[in-house]
Chains A and B, each alone.
Chain A
């Protein structure tokens, strides 16, 4: 199915060269799906760990529950090797 672009408000059919460039762009995007998904998991994991970093300072003793919670966060990416797994992670509950 041909693609079209809007140039100054006018619809123009893409050339074969432009179609090929977009096909390549689409392939690259699809190939990066897992990288994008796992990056989002890591971003959220890192933010949650940072939230409790102050409890792990040297002048404080972490509770067992908090230790378990923080370890679960650090382990959250273990075995996560597909986009579907990234999207279905069960996040631990903060004590």
Chain B
């Protein structure tokens, strides 16, 4: 049985109409289990949106990502980025809004998402957030991205970090890799959506 809206067939016999091109499509997902990294292959979607949920480090460390243009052989794409943060602690005596470290100026190393400091490794500590990459397959433009991350800081702070920048390459991005600066991703889920 089909679903027709304003003369347009949206669903028919379980299939989604090809005329619906603006939807959010779950492309892939991964659930960490003491994983050294989590990697995804990028394709031709106009926008990739990643949600990272309760990503828990094996040891206190910074959560980060990097990009590849050679099918994941090397994660070393040149990036220029900026970041800022707000924070408050459980003790109630240290708060702030400031520019954060871990920006990159034509750096090829990973871009830290928990820009302020390490995510705590207590059993109840983790980080959550989302990262958007625009036009990853472009061979004309630099590839812009932005991320917002909330995490439990190792010293019991709530920290909200904002990171944005661009991959300064006109090669298509082929892969993305999430890691901690040290140790494994003990647990957590990352979802990759595509949008056209």
Contact = CB atoms under 8 A, between A and B. Distances in A.
Interface stretch (B36-44, B120-128, B136-144, B160-168): B36-44
Contacts of B111: none
B184 to A, nearest CB: 7
Contacts of A40: 117, 155
Q: In the complex, which range does the number of interface residues on chain A fall in?
A: 20 to 34
B28 A3 contact: no
A85 interface: no
- Please report whether the interface of chain A is mostly helix, strand, loop or mixed according to DSSP: helix
A6 B96 contact: no
B158 interface: no
B182 to A, nearest CB: 4
A44 B155 CA distance: 12
7 tightest A-B CB contacts, nearest first: A29-B182, A3-B36, A5-B37, A6-B30, A6-B38, A7-B39, A5-B36
Interface of A: 3-9, 11, 14, 18, 22, 25-26, 29-30, 36, 39-40, 44, 47
